[in-house]
Amino acid sequence: MIATTPALLIQPDGQVEEIILDSHRPDQLRCIGFHVDGARAHRLGRQAVVHVGQNGETVNNVARQAWMSVTSGSLPPVLRGPVVVTGPADRAGDFAPLPALSAEAVHRASRLLSDTFAVRPSVSVAQRPGERDWQCDAYAVKRGKGSGRWGFAVLDGIGETLEARRFARRFAPIVARAAALHGDPARALTAARIQARNDNGWDFDPLSDPSAAAVVAVTDQWSPLIRFAWCGNVRAYRLTPTGRAVPLTRDHTHAEEWRARGRTPGPKARNVLASCLMRGAIEAGAVERKYTRRLLLCTQGVHAPLEEWAHGIGDILDLAADAKEAAATCVADALEVAGPDGLAHDNATALVVDFTQI
């Protein structure tokens, strides 16, 4: 029978997980998915051992801080990727449990870095129903307690019905929470799609009828990137340091498909979706946070009238004093202009994120 011993797994994103692993040396790291050929073991005095793979992954700053906490300040080697911390090995090669004081030092290092270097975004949302009977847009902001990630989601329910509103309101927090948990926006949309398809409580066919367009973004305190994913015609923009609004998404509509084929789309083609949360393409991308002064997630009721009537989204985002003013101005200006096809009177939602590094 193989003995087991408690240990700690430290991820580069700051998550610290208590694990049970096989204590005998040949199998010690395989059972937790940390099987790395030639993993190195670094002694931390007499109390602990740090195990790390020899690879080129992200520097694990939490593991390095934990090293300094356990050793009262000695400089650690460069630790990359996931790191496992155990107690010392006995003569037979089995690792002892990590002493309680050492384990607490690891957790303390994780909390310290999360509190000190966390990206604390300033978030504001403005939302108005326009001339619709129901507000079918929905949004959600979630933060992963263990990881420090932030997930932002905006959904545009398709159709002017209570069912569309119920669908968007149900899945906006689900998408944002999954994105904050896993750090993968496309995975969050895919998981929500599976869940929605398995739910038989909707009054539409998930394989043929549209449900909601969606955009989701994630910021991670340990990553220099903002990751995003989308389906349908809900958009994401970033404000550059020079005050220009750059679209990060490309609409999944018949109009865009026709343009890609060199054809001129009809006036209503932009309202016909080629994908949504239930079906069709899910695209993803990333942008460096240091080149993003502000992030805007918005529904068609915001971006369509502003672009049609040449209201500069970049000017709105650049001149606003804070996220609250930026979101409110985007929605107010979108509803002020009167588009000939009535787009200005659609549901309008703008979620704006300002990033500050503390």
Q: Tell me the pLDDT tens digit for each residue of 192-213.
A: 999 988 887 777 666 666 689 9
Nearest to 52 by CA among 77, 21, 74, 19: 77
Which residues are CB-neighbours of 115 under 8 A, at least 6 positions away? none
- Go through the domains of the chain in sequence order and give each one's CATH number: 4-117 (no CATH), 122-354 (3.60.40.10)
Residue 108 backbone dihedrals phi, psi, to 5 degrees: -65, -40
First to last CA, the chain: 50
Are 167 and 211 within 8 A, CB to CB? yes
Query: What pLDDT score was predicted for residue 322?
Result: 94
Are 245 and 314 within 8 A, CB to CB? yes
Instruction: Determine how many CB atoms are found less than 10 A away from the CB of residue 256.
Output: 16
- The Cα–Cα gap between 278 and 266 comes to 25
Q: What is the pTM of this model?
A: 0.67
DSSP string, 316-348: HHHH-SSHHHHHHHHHHHHHHS--TTSGGGS-E
- The Cα–Cα gap between 231 and 277 comes to 6
Query: What pLDDT score was predicted for residue 243?
Result: 92
Query: What pLDDT score was predicted for residue 264?
Result: 58
- The Cα–Cα gap between 25 and 16 comes to 22
Are 311 and 109 within 8 A, CB to CB? no
Are 154 and 296 within 8 A, CB to CB? no
- The Cα–Cα gap between 305 and 336 comes to 9
Cα 302 to Cα 230, 237, 342, distances in angstroms? 16, 12, 12
Per-residue pLDDT of the chain (358 residues; tens, 9 = 90+): 334 456 777 777 667 777 766 555 444 444 444 544 456 777 776 677 777 766 556 777 778 877 777 776 677 787 877 788 887 777 766 777 777 777 777 777 666 655 544 556 899 999 998 888 889 999 999 988 766 789 999 999 988 888 889 999 999 999 999 999 889 999 999 999 999 888 877 776 666 666 899 999 999 876 789 999 999 999 999 999 999 999 999 998 855 664 566 665 555 656 667 899 998 999 999 999 888 999 999 999 999 889 877 678 999 999 999 999 999 999 999 988 855 554 547 899 999 999 864 3
